[in-house]
Structure 1
Amino acid sequence: MIKISRRKFLSVSAVCIGSQLLAKDIKNKKITWEGIALGAPSSMTLYHHNISYAKNVLKKCELEIIRLENIFSLYRKNSSINQLNKNGYLNNPPKELLELITFSNLISKQTKGAFDISIQPLWQVYSKYHNNEKILKQKVEEVKKLVSYKNISFNENQISFKEKNMAITLNGIAQGYISDKISQLLKKEGFTNVLVDLGEINALGQHPAKRDWNISTPYLNDLKYIPLNNKAMASSGAYGTRFNEKYHHLINAKKAVSVDYINSVTVVASSATLADVLATAIAVSSKSRREKIMKTYPKVKVYLS
């Protein structure tokens, strides 16, 4: 069983078991890469009989992560998302940014605003003023009018905000998206049994031992593990980023406050992108809203604690 917690670094385990690798005289070798991804220590491990080939694939994964970070990361000064937030518009946006904003908008509509990437101004206020209740309430009142996915305009030529000082965050979806992209890259390179973890998990195919990938999560005490096979998994909860004992990163966009409806939610879906975004949406939703979201996605499995 593989034990997984929600982390901010990338761990990729991949095995290519093409027919030639089943020959008795050929053995897979372990090749590991260590570095930085999304601002945290990272590692990737591939198993392949050709060391040079595996190293080249790892390099491609590394470069792809860096490329996507330069689009989505709020911690990279010149990233596409920071340019958009700074100027209120972005001409000729990268296709990946447009793709995620388009998908986010769809999820926002389907969840009645439970998921809303325009939450960033509120997140910044809670992050900065969480220890001063008086100023916090004042600042929340000032910025909550900026939070609405409906005020984001987008097409292939430009992404723009309808309100001054708006800002977006893709932290509730980008990890899953990058996990999917790395999985697709590895599949293209011939790896058929892959487990990618970028906080959100993507299982391509089954475990090399010809069974499901068994993922254990510390947030589900009554469940030994979750089996994955060509599925993805994401978890969300107030444990992720806490500002103090009272406030955390899971903010209900309409109420403009941190909410504690549940301890954690784990979602299993067809892609890590979908699992990631639904985990966030469900985590900030009341019971009635949560049930409606789950009915909208009947093929998605949801585990609550």
Structure 2
Amino acid sequence: MRKLQLNPFVSKTVFVFGTANTVTVGIEHRKVMEEVKDILLSFHKCMSIYESTSEISSLNHMAGSSSLSISPEIYDLIRRSVAYSKLTNGAFDITALPLKKIWQTAEQIPTEAQIHHAKKLVNYRNIVFSDNKIMLKYSGMGVDLGGIAKGFAVDKITELLKSRGIASGVINFGGSVFVLGEERSVGIQTPFGKKGRYIGTIRVKNKAVVTSGAYENYRVINGTAYQHILNPHTGYPVNNELLAVTLIGAKAEELDALATGVCVMGIQKGYDLLKKRQIDAIFIKKDGSVLLTEGIKESFSFKEATYEA
């Protein structure tokens, strides 16, 4: 995303969720930045799988044995995550942590036996809800909110800014963006290009822009790059015609989850789902072509017709 400036403005960056999270508002609202920091740190402490004392880590530790009381916000977020899983027919699944673990630590391509074992533990239907408690049915299961946490946080901070009477600002949490107030241009990163190199820009106002793609994070095994987005159905990294997708809509949380799901589903199935949800999209294919949904053709400006792989 291009650096967007409010004049005069103040920005605050907090490093949580494994990325830089920046909020930019008019300088007269600088006092809100401490609230932003506190909220983001509290979310991280609740949701991170890398914090041993987080609610999610505790839930995963108790998988297959007992249920855990979960704070209302995280409980509701997990419920909505299951709803997004149903929408995508499991292409987005927060229980894919066992697969993530074997691919993240692999020095060699995981064996069929390893993948088969991990896949058996991946199924959002095995999250059991009871009052304010959650249980993972089977030992070895694990929940990872990394595919939705940034979007969730963007929406929460947007709500905070509005509640404080702030009418204009930009929230950019690792590429999950919300433009509040006046219309601004958001850059769409060129896949595999240098940071700050854009395939185009999209003009938005009071909307979220969220990108997910194969080029963002990958692991090289035996000279072959394997992307970080995994297909819960196959157990392997996604490998289809879609290199990246950017979604434009009202809520960053929904876009965050569905962007991952669409990357797994592919363009046609993804397009059909997004059309029903009235969400616009920019699809970047591996052959370098770019497809736009009808609703944004007037607000998107190309900088490059293709990208360099």
Normalised to the residue count of structure 2, the TM-score between the two structures is: 0.81
Distance 2:24 2:198 in 1: 31
Describe the shift of the 1:236–1:40 C-alpha distance in structure 2 as closer, same or farther (beyond 3 A).
closer
Residue 193 of structure 1: how far off its partner (Å): 0.8
Aligned residue type for 2:279 = V
Distance 2:9 2:169 in 1: 14
Q: Does 1:185 align with 2:160?
A: yes
User: 1:230–1:270: 8 Å Cα contact kept in structure 2?
Assistant: yes
Identity %: 26
Q: Does 1:124 align with 2:101?
A: yes
Distance 1:136 1:126 in 2: 10
Output aligned runs, 1:61-72, within 5 Å. Answer: 61-72=36-47
What does residue 145 of structure 2 align with? 170
Describe the shift of the 1:29–1:213 C-alpha distance in structure 2 as closer, same or farther (beyond 3 A).
closer
Post-superposition Cα deviations, 1:35-78, rounded to whole Å, max 9, x if no partner, equal 533345555443234xxxx3431111100001111111122221
What does residue 180 of structure 2 align with? 204
Aligned residue type for 1:249 = H
Q: Does 1:281 align with 2:261?
A: yes
> Which of these residues, 69, 73, 80, is aligned with residue 103 of structure 1?
80
What does residue 201 of structure 2 align with? 225
Residue 289 of structure 1: how far off its partner (Å): 2.7
Distance 2:167 2:208 in 1: 15
Describe the shift of the 1:188–1:195 C-alpha distance in structure 2 as closer, same or farther (beyond 3 A).
same
Alignment RMSD (CA, Å): 2.3
What does residue 296 of structure 1 align with? 276
What does residue 247 of structure 1 align with? 226
Describe the shift of the 1:38–1:291 C-alpha distance in structure 2 as closer, same or farther (beyond 3 A).
closer
What does residue 19 of structure 1 align with? none
> Which of these residues, 173, 177, 187, is aligned with residue 216 of structure 1?
187
Residue 168 of structure 1 aligns to a residue whose secondary structure is: coil
Residue 160 of structure 1 aligns to a residue whose secondary structure is: strand
Residue 141 of structure 1: how far off its partner (Å): 1.6
Residue 174 of structure 1: how far off its partner (Å): 0.7
> Which of these residues, 65, 77, 80, is aligned with residue 55 of structure 2?
80
Output aligned runs, 1:12-161, within 5 Å. Answer: 29-40=8-19, 43-49=22-28, 54-88=29-63, 89-129=66-106, 131-133=107-109, 135-161=110-136
Post-superposition Cα deviations, 1:142-197, rounded to whole Å, max 9, x if no partner, equal 11101111111124321111121100111111100101111111111111012100
Point out where structure 1 has 5 or more consecutive residues left out of the alignment. 5-12, 16-27, 207-211
What does residue 247 of structure 2 align with? 267
What does residue 2 of structure 2 align with? 3
Aligned residue type for 2:135 = S
Distance 1:37 1:246 in 2: 26
Residue 246 of structure 1: how far off its partner (Å): 3.3
Residue 95 of structure 2 aligns to a residue whose secondary structure is: helix
Distance 2:31 2:243 in 1: 41
Distance 1:228 1:111 in 2: 26
Task: Flag the structure with higher helix content.
Answer: 1
Post-superposition Cα deviations, 1:122-154, rounded to whole Å, max 9, x if no partner, equal 01011112x323x53331121110111111112
Describe the shift of the 1:47–1:240 C-alpha distance in structure 2 as closer, same or farther (beyond 3 A).
same
Residue 278 of structure 1: how far off its partner (Å): 1.0
User: How many matched pairs?
Assistant: 272
Point out where structure 2 has 5 or more consecutive residues left out of the alignment. 192-196, 285-309
Aligned residue type for 1:236 = S
Distance 1:271 1:41 in 2: 20
> Which of these residues, 205, 210, 220, is aligned with residue 234 of structure 1?
210
User: 1:83–1:90: 8 Å Cα contact kept in structure 2?
Assistant: no
Residue 33 of structure 1: how far off its partner (Å): 3.7
What does residue 22 of structure 1 align with? none
